[in-house]
Chain A
Amino acid sequence: MNEVKRKSTGVPGLDKLLQGGVPENSAVLVIGFPGTGKTTLVRQVAYHTLTKGENVVFVTTTESPESIKAQMKARGFDISRYSERLTFIDAYSWRIGAKQGENVLSSVTRLDELLILIQEAFKKGERGVLVIDSLSDLLLHNEERSVYKFVQLVTAKAAENNYTSFFVLEEGIHSPQVITTLEYLTNGTIEMKLEEEKRMLRIKRMTDTVHPLAWIPFTLSKGVDVEVGAFFQ
């Protein structure tokens, strides 16, 4: 009997592969080359979490919150009605000096400041999902060991507040040692790739979950749609 509480990803096919979803309060790495669908997946998880009445803390280093909202709306994930339970932490705008204000990070090198902002956001509501898109930016601008410490602290704080964490990581720019260390610090890894114009994902590892290791095809239209039928036949 599977007694582990699970958090649905909002992708039915992926949930099926994960025995219902990722274990609650766990930390999951989403790894792949650019354009493989990582960002779409974590945004879909965020949207699904909001529709279920839970909270989302979304740290963005790659685009402004406004741009993310517009893109998600275009994909059919309109998050504007959930603003009370959604906190964006803007770790993007500092680099273009665009703005300052609440939940805007002064620099992506300020991991201490980022941790405080995330902790403050957790206080807005217990239970939900934390997304960091992407961890690669933090690694590119900080000492690796500082990022490891940050990941240790942020995953512990997230679990304390009943948040499940999703960290996006770009493939091909970090050494195998960095990826292994981040895997050691987290509970699961979902890999995504593009092969001969076909999108594939696989669950490389997931704590408390018996899962296939095979690469499973998926499509991107409104969101991620995993084709698990063939696998289970």
Chain B
Amino acid sequence: MGVSTGIKYLDKVLGGYPDHNVLVEHDSGAGGTLLGLHYLLGGMREGENVGALVAGASANNLIKKLTAIGLGRDNIVYAGPEPEDFFRTIHERKRTQKECFDRLLIDSLSHIFMESGLGGVDPEVCSNSVKLKDFLADRLLSWEKHCGHVMALIHHKMVHPEVMLFLEESFEGVLRLEMTGGRKRVMKIIRWPWDVKKKTLYYSITEKGFVFK
């Protein structure tokens, strides 16, 4: 039905990821980046050309992890610390068409919202939905039109809920990874293009990766 998630259990429950774009909203420590790494590994196992656009505070740490799973330096695009760098990088790569990856991980959108003020707590900025729509249509999702599919990660609690709603509308699939107050982590399927077997999945993270319960 969809493309491989890189995790057998998720392929079975979700029927794979939609063949377009998926937004993963996550709490800190809930395993967003790990889910992204599985997404790339799933593509690599099927012989796809996979890539990662990294940006934000933990970029150096992330690059180490991507290299560790076997991603070549040419497949890792570093966007730099400022939002302008991110936009420019996407445009340049699209123009040259050199890195037209079959699947692309964007980790993460969070710093754009933090730096640009597109999210945050300012109600005037938050209501500026047109700006956000344009930003997504012109810059981010243009990649998907020309290439393969995209998984974008975001710390959703950094962004105003109203803005998150607009953001969710631009993605075919939306997953949310949450830390509960106790010792559990939970994955919620917020939006999906087809019916899924379960809407809520509990999991833990071990040395071997995701373990669903």
| Interface, chain A (partner B; CB < 8 A) | 148, 152, 155, 175-177, 180-181, 183-187, 189, 202, 204-208, 210, 212-215
In the complex, what distance in Å separates the CA atom of A152 from the CA atom of B115? 12
A-B contact pairs, 9 of them (CB 8 A): A177-B158, A180-B27, A183-B28, A184-B114, A184-B155, A205-B28, A205-B179, A210-B205, A214-B182
Output the nearest chain A residue to B181 by Cβ-Cβ distance. Answer: A215
Q: How far is the CA of A125 from the CA of B84 in the complex (A)?
A: 36
Give the nearest-CB partner of B113 in chain A.
A181
Q: Please measure, in the bound complex, the distance between the C-alpha atom of A214 and the C-alpha atom of B58, giving whole angstroms.
A: 25
Residue B74 CB within 8 A of the other chain: no
Q: Would you call A187 and B56 a contact (CB within 8 A)?
A: no
Given A175-B121, A177-B121, A213-B185, A184 and B158 contact (CB-CB distance below 8 Å): yes
Q: CA of A184 to CA of B109 in the docked complex: distance in angstroms?
A: 11
Instruction: For residue B23, give the distance in angstroms from its CB to the closest CB of chain A.
Output: 16
Interface size class of B (residues with CB under 8 A): 20 to 34
Instruction: Report the minimal beta-carbon distance from A84 to chain B, rounded to whole angstroms.
Output: 32
Known interface pairs A184-B110, A213-B185; A152-B57 also in contact (CB < 8 Å): yes
Which A residues are CB-close (under 8 A) to B96? none
From known contacts A175-B121, A184-B110, A184-B155, infer whether A189 and B28 are also in contact, taking CB-CB under 8 Å. Answer: yes
Is the pair B183, A207 in contact by a Cβ cutoff of 8 Å?
no
For the complex, give the distance between the alpha carbons of A189 and B27 in Å.
Answer: 12
- Considering the complex, which residues of chain B in the window 47-62 have a beta carbon less than 8 Å from any beta carbon of chain A? 56-58, 61
Which B residues lie within 8 Å of A210 (CB)?
A: 205-207
Chain A contacts for B81, CB-based, 8 A? 152
A212–B183 touching, CB < 8 Å = yes
Q: Is the CB of A187 within 8 A of B185?
A: no
Kindly identify which residue among B111, B157, B182 contacts A180, using a CB–CB cutoff of 8 Å.
B157
List residues of chain A with CB within 8 A of the CB of B58: 187, 207
List B residues 62-107 near A (Cβ within 8 Å): 81
> Given known contacts A189-B29, A215-B182, what 8 new A-B pairs fall within 8 Å (CB)?
A152-B81, A155-B57, A177-B121, A184-B57, A187-B58, A189-B28, A204-B28, A210-B207
> How far is it, in angstroms, between the C-alpha of A186 and the C-alpha of B28 when the chains are bound?
10
A112 → chain B, closest Cβ, in Å? 18
Which of A177, A185, A205, A215 contacts B157, CB < 8 Å?
A177
B184 at the interface (CB under 8 A from A): yes
| With A177-B120, A184-B114, A184-B158: A207-B61 Cβ-Cβ less than 8 Å | yes
Instruction: Name the B residues within 8 Å of A152 (CB-CB).
Output: 57, 81
Q: Considering the complex, give the chain B residue whose CB is closest to the CB of A23.
A: B61
Name the distance in Å between B206's Cβ and chain A's nearest Cβ. Answer: 6
User: Within the complex, what minimum Cβ distance (angstroms) separates A58 from chain B?
Assistant: 23
Closest to A206 in B: B29
Separation of A186 and B29 alpha carbons in the complex (Å): 11
Q: Is the CB of B206 within 8 A of A180?
A: no
A209 to B120, CA, bound (A): 30
A210 to B56 Cα, complex, angstroms: 23
Cα–Cα, bound, A176→B28 (Å): 12
**B183, A176: Cβ atoms closer than 8 Å:** no
Inter-chain CA distance A206–B207, complex, in Å, is 13
Given A177-B120, A180-B28, A213-B182, A187 contacting B61 (CB threshold 8 A): yes
Chain B residue at minimum C-beta to C-beta distance from A210: B207
Residues of B within 8 A of A183 (CB): 28-29, 155
Query: Chain A residues with Cβ under 8 A from B61's Cβ?
Result: 187, 207-208
**Distance between Cα atoms of A214 and B28 in the complex (Å):** 16
Given the complex, which residues of B lie within 8 Å of A185, measured CB to CB?
57
A205 vs B28: C-alpha distance in the bound complex, in angstroms?
7
Q: Which residue of A lies closest to B160 (CB)?
A: A177
> Which residues of chain B come closer than 8 Å to A187, judged between CB atoms?
58, 61
**Residue of A at shortest CB range from B31?**
A205
When distances are taken between beta carbons in the complex, the residues of chain B under 8 Å from A208 are: 61
With A187-B58, A187-B61, A205-B28 given, is the CB distance from A180 to B158 under 8 Å? yes
The CA-CA distance from A204 to B205 in the complex, in Å, is 12
* Chain A min CB distance to B65 (Å): 9
Give chain A residues whose Cβ lies under 8 Å from the Cβ of B204.
Answer: 213
